[in-house]
Amino acid sequence: MIQRIQSLYLLLAAGAGAATLSFDLWKAKLSNGTVTAVNASSNYLLFVLYVIIILLAVVCIFLFKKRKLQFRLTIFNILFVFAALGYQYYVVQQTANKLAAGGITITSASYQVASFLPVLLIVLLFMAARGIYKDEKLIKSLDRLR
């Protein structure tokens, strides 16, 4: 189970998803001196997306005997990460627009490290999918030799 490299990639992906879920994605310093932040748990849909991403990665670790299903779920998880990444930046833009519409000036704003973790998540899930595909190919070639 954990002996396979793709299981390690899936475990790291789950950890990156948990880090994205728990840290701030965007911080802005406002003209009145306060600081506002956006994190994944402040938006319900974003929170649900990241929980699904984490759970899918953990479930895929234990599907090592069903490689085809494991591969499909990993690819499906990559699509979820793309959706979460796009929605994450939409939420940040909406927050900035809401502040501007309220007459509050943003003096400085920056994306935090956690907002770039979904890119790492995509890379880790892609490497896991590639490892699962190689395992499936190896098993098929061994079956052909029998």
3-state secondary structure of 81: helix
DSSP 27: E
9 is written with which tokens? 């990639």
Calpha distance 13→20 (Å, rounded): 10
pTM confidence score:
0.88
Calpha distance 125→128 (Å, rounded): 5
pLDDT tier, 11 (very low <50, low <70, confident <90, very high otherwise): very high
CA nearest to 81, candidates 127, 49, 59? 49
Length of the chain as a residue count: 146
User: What pLDDT, in 10s, does the model give residues 55-75?
Assistant: 999 999 998 888 899 999 999
User: What pLDDT, in 10s, does the model give residues 109-139?
Assistant: 889 999 999 999 999 999 999 999 998 888 8
pLDDT reported for residue 81: 96
User: What pLDDT, in 10s, does the model give residues 36-48?
Assistant: 889 988 899 999 9
**Spans of all domains in the chain:** 3-134
Amino acid at 10: L
For 3-134, give the CATH class. mainly alpha
